[in-house]
Structure 1
Amino acid sequence: MSVGDVASDGTGVSANPPPGGLLFPVGHYLGAVYPGAEEPPAYHRLRVGDSVVRLFSEEEFGLWVLAHGLPGRPVDQPWTLAALAESVRRRDGRDVTPLLHELLAEGALAEVTPGTGDAVAFAHAHRFRSLLTGLGMSPDDPERFLLGLLGRPLAMVDEPTYELWQWAPLHASIWDVCRALAEVDPGPGGRPGDPELRLTEVLGRLQVLIASSAGYLDEVRR
């Protein structure tokens, strides 16, 4: 299964984050390394910041791919580590929780609980990088916007998610994105809003974009 197999038909974000942390894959896939012709891959490579993370088993790589979102699952439903582990248990009867925690420790996955200090720390330490091409407004639904390849739409999202895809890469971190959103959407009295209040919304929309293969998370450069 490839990242492109992940469902991409969601158009919104759940207003209420689920119990537990949201699950995010981290890094840009660089491909497999083969030891020789007609041999299976020795490992898969992810670029995370200035480093390369190596996934030495197909199981590890498969879980990293599934962390983008389960095929057939509406991408507007929050995706968690527990949901991923349960989906594998139901399909194969295996408990992959220990391996998921190894991937968390390696930095290939991140678990983020909205509304916590850890979420703020995550936002300071990571940034979003866009993939695909913006194809503009859907001709069938003016409230939806298309992402994909020229002549080949691959994802349809709402306008705020499209705006996030468009502008987030211009900011050094996810936290800077939230600060910018708070400044352009002031609270009572015209004062800048609270970036922490925008973070939960941004995290949910990032899951939509990542599940649609429209971008990836990277570490902030120090």
Structure 2
Amino acid sequence: MTGSVFPVGHYNGARDAEQAVRVGWSRHRLDADAFAVWVLAHGVPEVGKGNWTVADVVAHCTDTGVDAPGKHLEKLADSGLIAVVEDDPASAAQFAHRHRMDVLFVGLGNAPEQLEGHAVGIPGLGTAAVLDPECYELWQWGSVAPTLWHSCEVRATVVAEPAARPDPDAALTEILGDLRFLLAHGCAYLDVVG
């Protein structure tokens, strides 16, 4: 298994000795090692909008003492808790058609330290992340879209030259980068369509 890793599901807290993650209408219970792999699939903030691969997840899992991270990755992928997007447009488009995004946190207004930055977090507790305008647009409107692909279509239409045909495939790379940033900072989560 290779490619970019995206976690799917919304964390629902501890249940007995396991952690619960909801995907669609299903709740999955994960042991400590499987949960650690799922958490590390979100990426780390230092990556920004960059690629977060299977190899990155395995390396970080190994560094933190998780046993058999590759095996856990495969099981999580089989159960729909992790999506692996291969480095080709067809795989990315298929992923975007099958998944939707929902947001966590609330908008806190413009970030004083960054002229075009938008802060999101929890009022009274602080800022979780400062988003650039494109990332903020996905965060603000992405949960309204029924799929990630719809977000790509909207972005492609907005940025297209007046006489040009919108290209959602070109917007997809940007959307996936923005999504990576949001996931790594805990500002959003992915779910399945339907």
Confirm or deny a common fold (TM above 0.5).
Answer: yes
Residues 1:99 and 2:72 aligned together: yes
For 1:97-176, what aligned pairs fall within 5 Å after superposition? Answer: 97-151=70-124, 152-176=126-150
Tell me if structure 2 keeps the 8 A contact 1:127–1:218: yes
SS at match of 1:216: strand
**Aligned sequence identity (%):** 36
Tell me if structure 2 keeps the 8 A contact 1:126–1:217: yes
Runs (5+) with no aligned partner, structure 2: none
Equivalent residue number for residue 39 of structure 2: 65
**1:137-190 CA-partner distances (Å, limit 9, x unpaired):** 111221222110113111112111011100111110000110111112224x62
Q: Following TM superposition, by how much is the alpha carbon of 1:87 offset from its aligned partner in structure 2, in angstroms?
A: 2.3
Equivalent residue number for residue 85 of structure 1: 58
Q: For 1:205 and 1:113, locate their aligned partners in 2 and report how far apart those are by CA, in whole Å.
A: 17
**1:75-119 CA-partner distances (Å, limit 9, x unpaired):** 333211111102233454854112211111111111113542121
Equivalent residue number for residue 21 of structure 1: 3
Q: For 1:47 and 1:91, locate their aligned partners in 2 and report how far apart those are by CA, in whole Å.
A: 25
Tell me if structure 1 keeps the 8 A contact 2:33–2:66: no
Q: Following TM superposition, by how much is the alpha carbon of 1:206 offset from its aligned partner in structure 2, in angstroms?
A: 0.2
Q: For 1:69 and 1:191, locate their aligned partners in 2 and report how far apart those are by CA, in whole Å.
A: 35
SS at match of 1:24: strand
Structure exhibiting the larger radius of gyration computed from Cα positions: 1
Q: Which portions of structure 1, spanning 4 or more consecutive aligned residues, are displaced by more than 3 angstroms?
A: 90-95
Change (3 A) 1:79 1:125: same
Residues 1:49 and 2:31 aligned together: no
Q: For 1:84 and 1:110, locate their aligned partners in 2 and report how far apart those are by CA, in whole Å.
A: 13
Tell me if structure 2 keeps the 8 A contact 1:184–1:192: no
The one-letter amino acid paired with 2:12 is L
Equivalent residue number for residue 8 of structure 1: none
SS at match of 2:128: strand
Q: What TM-score, normalized by structure 2, do the two folds share?
A: 0.91
Q: For 1:29 and 1:112, locate their aligned partners in 2 and report how far apart those are by CA, in whole Å.
A: 21
